Structure 1
Amino acid sequence: MREAASTGDETTLTVVIPVFNEEDCLPALLQRVLAIQSRMPNCRLELLFVNDGSVDRTGVLLEEAAAAHCHVKVVQFSRNFGHQAAVTAGIDHADGDFVCIIDADLQDPPEVIPDMLALALEGHDLVYGKRRSRSGETLFKKATAAIFYRMLRRICRVDIPADAGDFRLMSRSVVLAVRQMRETHRFIRGMVAWVGFKSAPYVYDRQERHAGTTKYPLFKMVRFATDAILSFSNLPLRISTYLGLGMTTLTLFGMVLVACLRLFTPWTVPGISAVLFVVLLIGGVQFLILGIMGEYISRIFEQDKDRPLYLIATTSNLKSR
Structure 2
Amino acid sequence: MEKLISIIVPVYNEEENIQIFYAELKNVLEKIGKSYDVIFVDDGSTDNTSEKISQLSQTDQNVKMIQFSRNFGKEIATTAGINACHSSACIIIDVDLQHPVEYIPEFIDKWEKGAEVVVGVRKNSASDEWIKKVCSYTFYKVLNLISTTPVVRNSTDYRLLDKKVIDEFNKFTERNRMTRGLIAWLGFKRDLVYFEAKERLNGKPKYSYIKLIRLATFTFVSHSLLPLKLAGYLGIFTTLGAGLLGFFIVITQYIFPVLTFNFSGPAQLAVLILFLIGIVLSCLGLIALYIGSIHGEVINRPLYVVRNKINF
Q: What SS does the aligned partner of 1:184 have?
A: coil
Counting matched residue pairs gives: 309
**Greater than 4 Å deviation, 4+ residue runs:** none
The aligned residue for residue 78 of structure 1 is 69
Name the Cα RMSD after superposition.
1.2
AA of the residue aligned to 2:8:
V
AA of the residue aligned to 1:280:
L
Q: Where does 1:246-285 land on structure 2 (aligned, <5 Å)?
A: 246-261=237-252, 262-267=254-259, 268-285=262-279
The aligned residue for residue 15 of structure 1 is 7
Select 2:50's aligned residue among 30, 52, 59: 59
Q: What SS does the aligned partner of 2:280 have?
A: helix
AA of the residue aligned to 1:19:
V
AA of the residue aligned to 1:286:
V
Select 1:117's aligned residue among 108, 124, 129: 108
The aligned residue for residue 281 of structure 2 is 287
Q: CA deviation at 1:271?
A: 4.2
1: distance between equivalents of 2:20 and 2:226?
Answer: 43
Could you tell me which runs of 5 or more consecutive residues in structure 2 were left unpaired when the two chains were aligned: none
The aligned residue for residue 297 of structure 1 is 291
AA of the residue aligned to 1:13:
I
Do structure 1's residue 142 and structure 2's residue 133 form an aligned pair? yes
The aligned residue for residue 205 of structure 1 is 196
Q: What SS does the aligned partner of 2:35 have?
A: strand
The aligned residue for residue 40 of structure 1 is 32
Select 1:98's aligned residue among 64, 86, 89: 89
1: distance between equivalents of 2:233 and 2:210?
Answer: 28
Could you tell me which runs of 5 or more consecutive residues in structure 1 were left unpaired when the two chains were aligned: none
2: distance between equivalents of 1:136 and 1:82?
Answer: 22
Q: What SS does the aligned partner of 1:99 have?
A: strand
The aligned residue for residue 307 of structure 2 is 313
1: distance between equivalents of 2:19 and 2:272?
Answer: 62
Q: CA deviation at 1:104?
A: 1.2
2: distance between equivalents of 1:265 and 1:271?
Answer: 14
The aligned residue for residue 50 of structure 1 is 41
Do structure 1's residue 180 and structure 2's residue 171 form an aligned pair? yes
Q: What SS does the aligned partner of 1:22 have?
A: coil
2: distance between equivalents of 1:56 and 1:273?
Answer: 60
AA of the residue aligned to 1:14:
S
AA of the residue aligned to 1:278:
L
2: distance between equivalents of 1:154 and 1:250?
Answer: 26
Q: CA deviation at 1:278?
A: 1.6
Select 1:228's aligned residue among 210, 219, 229: 219
2: distance between equivalents of 1:150 and 1:174?
Answer: 26
Q: What SS does the aligned partner of 1:180 have?
A: coil
1: distance between equivalents of 2:263 and 2:174?
Answer: 53
